[in-house]
Amino acid sequence: MKLGIAALLAALVACLLAACGKPSAPVAPEAPPPTPREKGVPVGVLLPISGLQSAFGRSALAGMRLAVAGWNDAGGIAGKPVDLIVRDTESNSETAARAVRELVVDEKVIAVLGEIASESSMKAAPVAAELGVPMISPGSTHADLTRAGPGIFRVCYADPFQVRVMSKFASSIGVTVAAILYDPDDDYSSGLAGAFEKDFIERGGKISAKATYRRGSGDFTAALQAIKAAQPEVIFLPAYFAEAAEIIRQARPLGIDQPFIGTDAWESQEFLAAGGEAVNNSYFASHFAADEPSEKTSAFVNAYRTANGGDPLALAALGYDAVNFLADGILRAGTTEPGALQSALASTAGFDGVTGTITLDADRNPSKPAIVLRVSDGKFHYLETIAP
């Protein structure tokens, strides 16, 4: 028993001595905390991704993303990546107003790009003005939009200019008698109708008839019969692409062969698909033409094709310009603080966009050219550029 205990104690001492003589395993130093990814520049996007105007929204978003990719690939704006935070307005003006508040209050965006439809922008702009964040519309042309506040901008021309362009175009092809067909419940359509009537009469023309339609009515026969009876030489149709295509398509079997002329809301592939041969020999004002012969246009078209396939329409070019217009303002302001950014944007002069060189007037509306497009062979074709 005693021998056993002695042996056990000897073994325990030997074990402890061995342990003391063996170097302990090194302790790994505490890992430094991971370096956080630099916070990006949050930019709100307000577009109709679904609903009646979704073709416009998807086109504009593709252009915006192309511009953002260009900035981020080059290191971002002032070294910070741009993060687009997109809200779908569902082609609904009330949704647009709510989405602006959500973008500013919840997402803390430094600016809002949108909307496209004038009706939605007119609802959203007062909210952006109230919250003190700049809002830049790529394509809303209603004359009163920027009056909502000093932080409301656009990169497209306003309705009075595109009306003058189409009134002048009608006069240039020898038209002296025109009719007008419009939607009295839509700000965009009714505003353009009144402005065209005034300008065309001032040029010595005559309005032989004014007829109305309601969005979604489907049957435009009564209004078209009234237009036909007035025997105009041309019909001014300020309508969104879906109604415009259907109205023109219904006009041809009634014996209305006169050209229709319109505005930028016609420009959609859906207009061509729905209108078919009926919309040939029609003309409208636009902001951009993929076949316009310039190096700047070609470079943009090629970049867009690589990223998206197919050619860009005007809203893609305007979305692209809206991002770059904002980036230019941030760089000149040296900050994203709303007041300084707003001042920088308001002083924009000579901004070289793909839709034209932009200089803002005192009401933050761009002085820039418009393009007249002709519809033929199922395509949009560049016809001419009209200077401001």
- CATH number of the domain bearing residue 303: 3.40.50.2300
Last residue of a domain, one of 286, 310, 344: 286
In the predicted structure, residue 25 carries a pLDDT above the cut 90: no
Radius of gyration of the chain (CA): 30
In the predicted structure, residue 53 carries a pLDDT above the cut 80: yes
In the predicted structure, residue 122 carries a pLDDT above the cut 80: yes
Q: Is residue 27 part of a domain?
A: no
Q: What is the pLDDT of residues 183-236, one digit of tens each?
A: 999 888 998 999 999 999 999 999 999 999 998 888 999 999 999 999 999 999
What is the residue range of 226's domain?
160-286
Q: What is the pLDDT of residue 15?
A: 38
User: Which two structure tokens, joined as six digits, stand for 44?
Assistant: 């709100």
Q: Is residue 388 part of a domain?
A: no
What's the mean pLDDT in 322-334?
A: 98
Q: What is the pLDDT of residue 188?
A: 86
Q: Is residue 258 part of a domain?
A: yes
Where does the pLDDT of residue 19 fall: very low under 50, low under 70, confident under 90, or very high at 90 and above? Answer: very low
What's the mean pLDDT in 56-66?
A: 97
Asked whether residue 196 falls in the same domain as residue 305, the answer is no
Q: What is the pLDDT of residue 256?
A: 98
Asked whether residue 48 falls in the same domain as residue 119, the answer is yes
Q: What percent of the chain has pLDDT over 70?
A: 90
Where does the pLDDT of residue 28 fall: very low under 50, low under 70, confident under 90, or very high at 90 and above? Answer: very low
Q: Is residue 385 part of a domain?
A: no
Asked whether residue 282 falls in the same domain as residue 354, the answer is no
Asked whether residue 47 falls in the same domain as residue 144, the answer is yes
In the predicted structure, residue 162 carries a pLDDT above the cut 80: yes
Q: What is the pLDDT of residue 34?
A: 39
Pinpoint the alpha helices (H) of the chain.
2-21, 54-73, 93-101, 118-131, 159-172, 187-202, 221-229, 241-251, 269-275, 295-308, 314-333, 338-346
Q: Is residue 386 part of a domain?
A: no
In the predicted structure, residue 114 carries a pLDDT above the cut 80: yes
Burial class from Cβ neighbours inside 10 Å (0-12, 13-18, 19+) for residue 192 reads buried
Q: Is residue 304 part of a domain?
A: yes
Q: What is the pLDDT of residues 72-111, one digit of tens each?
A: 999 999 899 999 999 999 999 999 999 999 999 999 999 9
- Range scoring the smallest mean pLDDT among 56-60, 135-139, 216-220, 333-337: 216-220
Q: Which of 366, 170, 159, 135 is nearest to 258 (CA)?
A: 170
Q: What is the pLDDT of residue 354?
A: 97
Asked whether residue 212 falls in the same domain as residue 195, the answer is yes
Asked whether residue 250 falls in the same domain as residue 338, the answer is no
Task: Spell out the residues 6+ positions from residue 38 whose beta carbon is closer than 8 angstroms to its own.
Answer: 79, 80, 81
Asked whether residue 324 falls in the same domain as residue 276, the answer is no
In the predicted structure, residue 13 carries a pLDDT above the cut 60: no
Q: What is the pLDDT of residue 187?
A: 81
Q: Is residue 32 part of a domain?
A: no
Q: Do 40 and 82 form a contact (C-beta atoms < 8 A)?
A: yes
Q: For residues 165 and 199, give the distance between their C-alpha atoms in angstroms, rounded to a whole number.
A: 10
Asked whether residue 210 falls in the same domain as residue 272, the answer is yes
Domain total of the chain: 2
Q: What is the pLDDT of residue 91?
A: 97
Asked whether residue 282 falls in the same domain as residue 177, the answer is yes
In the predicted structure, residue 171 carries a pLDDT above the cut 50: yes
Q: What is the pLDDT of residue 199?
A: 96
Where does the pLDDT of residue 24 fall: very low under 50, low under 70, confident under 90, or very high at 90 and above? Answer: very low
In the predicted structure, residue 43 carries a pLDDT above the cut 90: yes
Q: Do 59 and 319 form a contact (C-beta atoms < 8 A)?
A: yes
In the predicted structure, residue 37 carries a pLDDT above the cut 90: no
**Exposure class string for 90-122: b at 16+ Cβ within 10 A, else e:** bbbbebbbebbeebbeeeebbbbbbbbbbbbbb
Asked whether residue 276 falls in the same domain as residue 176, the answer is yes
In the predicted structure, residue 10 carries a pLDDT above the cut 50: no
Q: What is the pTM of this model?
A: 0.85
Asked whether residue 89 falls in the same domain as residue 164, the answer is no
Asked whether residue 180 falls in the same domain as residue 277, the answer is yes
Q: Is residue 169 part of a domain?
A: yes
Q: What is the pLDDT of residue 330?
A: 98
The whole-chain average pLDDT of the chain stands at 90
In the predicted structure, residue 140 carries a pLDDT above the cut 70: yes
Q: What is the pLDDT of residue 38?
A: 54
